[in-house]
Amino acid sequence: MSVKLIIGNKNYSSWSLRSWLLLAEAGIEFEEQRIALDTETSAAELAAASPACRVPVLLLDDMVVWDSLAIAETIAERWPEKELWPVEESARAHARSICAEMHSGFAALREAMPMNCRAMGRKVPLPDELTADIDRVFEIWTDCHHRYSSAGRWLFGKFSIADAMYAPVVLRFRTYGLNLPESASVYPARLLESKAMQEWLAESESEVEVIKGDEKGQ
């Protein structure tokens, strides 16, 4: 089976991180291709990679799959033994719900706190819309901790698609130095201990490109 993932800059591309982490943490071997974003050649390279002209893109044998949630569902279907959605029905429905919420929501958080792995110690204003998004993330992580922590330190005990979907938020909160409530800190700590996550962060540090629009904060 041929598995290739096309991603953007590891320092900035939150959607790329989701698909990359899912494959890496699940132990699925894949070839990686990186397209540097916001360059003179980016548009042409992205157009050649997928109809949506965005990353990530999964090339699975002769299939082309774009959009991180579609990629996650495809991976879960192709490797059911990895159990990337929770096995229990109600937990699986819960996981799908919070993944869909992350996929379509949190606009204020995305705008004010772009993922920028290298930009440690920055501060941004916290208007009501942003504070509401942050509090909602805390609520989700706390709820998962209370429901599933007896099975492990990922959001649903065992690593799942939900962890990949919320991984960039962990890095955003890390960058901007937000203080997490104790009940919402278990999953972020587990994620940052991950060998795959440490690899991603190390490689993001070695990138030289700078995307000015994602260099927010003081």
Give 178 or 211, the one with higher predicted confidence. Answer: 178
d(CA 43, CA 32): 19
What are the tens digits of pLDDT across the range 47-83?
999 999 999 999 999 999 999 999 999 999 999 999 9
Indicate the pTM of the whole model: 0.95
d(CA 116, CA 169): 11
Tokens of 111: 């705008």
Tokens of 15: 């959607």
> Domains (ranges, CATH) in the chain?
3-82 (3.40.30.10), 89-202 (1.20.1050.10)
What was the pLDDT predicted at 210?
A: 86
| Sheet bearing 57-60, strands edge to edge | 31-34, 3-7, 57-60, 63-66
Residues sharing a CB contact under 8 Å with residue 159, sequence separation 6 or more, in sequence order:
25, 26, 84
First to last CA, the chain: 46
d(CA 13, CA 158): 25
